[in-house]
C-alpha cells in the first residue's frame, strides 16, 4: 500500500560535495552541499541564493567541487549549520546556524593550491574538480515572491584530480567504482555505500570512452595553459585558455 504524504524535504539521496570558493578578501570559504548532478563534463548545482558560496561563485565564476568520502563525517558535521555570511539571516538563525569565517580551520581541513582557479582544493577530499560557472537559472519563478530564492547553477569541469587509489588498474582515465565510497546524504542523514555492488549493472557493459564523443569534451590533464577542448572528427572546434 502507498500513502500520499507531504514531506517537507525531498532529499532522496545524493553525494556530499564540499564547495570551496573565494571570499571578497581572498580567503577561502567551504560549504557542504548535496544538490549536485553530472552530465558530460558539466555539473548542475542547487544552491540557496543567499549563501556565501553562491555569492562568491556568481562574483568570481569559479569554485572547486571537492567530493567527500564516507570517512569524512566529522569534517562535514563541523561545517554543518555554519555560514560565511555575516550577519546570519533570520531563516538560518532559526535553524541553528552560526557565522564562521575560517571554515578550513573549523573543520580541520587543508587548503592546497588549484591549478586553474583561485579557490583552493581540499587536500583531504579524494576527488577535487576545478570548475567555472557557465549559467545560472532561477528556480521557483512560478511561485510569487519565491523567484530566485534557490538557483540552479551550471558549471563546467576544467580539471579532475583523483586520489591514485581510486584509479582503475590498467586505465589512464578511469575511476574504479568499487573503490569509490562517496558520502551520501539521504534526507538529513549520512550513509556510505555497501562494500559490494547491489546488482551487476547492464549499463556498465558500455565502454566509458563511448561517452566522450557524445559530449565532445576533451579535458587535458597537463599544464596550466589551454585546458578544455571540444574535438570533433579529429578537428578542434573550440579551445579554452585558462
Ligand atoms: C550534508 C549537507 C548537505 C547540504 N546540501 C545543500 C544543498 O544541496 N544546497 C544548499 O544550498 N545548501 C545545502 N546545505 C546547507 C549549506 O551547507 C548551508 O546553506 C551553508 O550555510 C552554506 O554555507 P555558506 O553560506 O558559507 O556558503 C547542506 C548542508 C549539509 C551539511
Residue 178 has pLDDT above 90, yes or no: yes
Task: Answer yes or no: is the C-beta of 76 below 6 A from any ligand 1 atom.
Answer: yes
Q: List, for residues 24-80, the tens digit of each pLDDT value.
A: 999 999 999 999 999 989 999 999 999 999 999 999 999 999 999 999 999 999 999
From ligand 1's centre to the CA of 180, what distance in Å?
23
Asked, for residue 66, whether it belongs to a domain, the answer is yes
CA atoms within 13 A on the CB side of 120: 17
Q: Which of 32, 43, 44 is nearest to 188 (CA)?
A: 32
Which residues make Cβ contacts (< 8 Å) with residue 163, sequence separation at least 6?
126, 127
CA distances in angstroms from 80 to 59, 99, 104, 110, 190, listed in the order given: 23, 11, 13, 17, 12
User: pLDDT band for position 130 (50/70/90)?
Assistant: very high
Residue whose CB lies within 8 A of the most ligand 1 atoms, among 11, 23, 49, 51, for a mutation test: 51
> Are β-strands 28-33 and 121-122 bridged in parallel, bridged antiparallel, or unpaired?
unpaired
Q: List, for residues 134-153, the tens digit of each pLDDT value.
A: 999 999 999 999 999 999 99
Count H helices, E strands: the chain? 5, 17
Task: Answer yes or no: is the C-beta of 152 below 6 A from any ligand 1 atom.
Answer: no
Q: Report the number of distinct structural domains present in the chain.
A: 1
Task: Answer yes or no: is the C-beta of 63 below 6 A from any ligand 1 atom.
Answer: no
Asked, for residue 213, whether it belongs to a domain, the answer is no
User: For residue 209, what pLDDT is reported?
Assistant: 85
CATH at residue 108: 2.30.110.10
Asked, for residue 242, whether it belongs to a domain, the answer is no
Q: Specify the range with the lowest mean pLDDT, choosing from 12-21, 123-132, 179-188, 210-219.
A: 210-219
Q: What would the mean pLDDT of 3-10 be, rounded to a whole number?
A: 95
Asked, for residue 227, whether it belongs to a domain, the answer is no
Please list the alpha-helical segments (H only) found in 80-230. Answer: 90-94, 103-107, 212-215
Asked, for residue 183, whether it belongs to a domain, the answer is yes
Domain that holds residue 142: 14-205
Asked, for residue 42, whether it belongs to a domain, the answer is yes
Asked, for residue 77, whether it belongs to a domain, the answer is yes
Residue 232 has pLDDT above 60, yes or no: no
User: For residue 195, what pLDDT is reported?
Assistant: 87
Residue 235 cell numbers, joined: 578537428
Q: Using an 8 Å Cβ cutoff, are 130 and 120 in contact?
A: no
The enclosing H or E element of 78 equals: helix 73-79
Residue 13 cell numbers, joined: 539521496
User: For residue 198, what pLDDT is reported?
Assistant: 84
From ligand 1's centre to the CA of 103, what distance in Å?
13
Asked, for residue 240, whether it belongs to a domain, the answer is no
Amino acid at each position: 500500500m502507498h500513502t500520499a504524504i507531504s514531506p517537507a524535504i525531498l532529499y532522496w539521496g545524493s553525494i556530499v560535495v564540499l564547495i570551496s570558493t573565494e571570499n571578497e578578501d581572498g580567503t577561502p570559504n567551504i560549504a557542504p552541499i548535496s544538490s549536485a548532478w553530472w552530465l558530460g563534463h558539466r555539473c548542475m548545482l542547487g544552491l540557496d541564493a543567499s549563501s556565501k558560496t553562491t555569492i562568491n561563485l556568481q562574483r568570481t565564476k569559479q569554485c572547486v567541487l571537492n567530493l567527500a568520502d564516507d570517512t569524512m563525517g566529522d569534517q562535514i558535521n563541523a561545517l554543518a549549520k555554519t555560514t560565511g555570511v555575516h550577519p546570519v539571516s533570520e531563516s538560518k538563525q532559526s535553524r541553528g546556524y552560526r557565522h564562521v569565517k575560517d571554515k578550513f580551520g573549523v573543520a580541520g581541513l587543508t587548503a592546497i593550491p588549484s591549478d586553474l582557479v583561485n579557490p583552493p582544493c581540499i587536500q583531504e577530499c579524494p576527488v577535487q574538480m576545478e570548475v567555472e560557472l557557465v549559467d545560472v537559472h532561477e528556480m521557483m519563478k512560478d511561485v510569487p515572491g519565491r523567484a530566485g530564492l534557490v538557483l540552479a547553477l551550471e558549471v563546467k569541469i576544467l580539471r579532475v584530480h583523483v586520489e591514485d587509489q581510486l584509479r582503475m588498474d590498467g586505465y589512464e582515465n578511469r575511476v574504479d567504482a568499487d573503490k569509490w565510497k562517496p558520502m551520501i546524504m539521504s534526507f538529513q542523514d549520512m550513509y556510505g555505500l555497501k562494500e559490494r555492488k547491489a546488482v551487476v549493472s547492464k549499463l556498465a557493459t558500455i565502454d566509458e570512452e563511448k561517452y566522450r564523443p557524445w559530449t565532445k569534451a576533451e579535458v587535458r590533464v597537463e599544464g596550466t595553459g589551454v585546458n578544455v577542448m571540444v574535438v570533433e572528427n579529429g578537428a578542434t572546434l573550440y579551445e579554452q585558455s585558462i
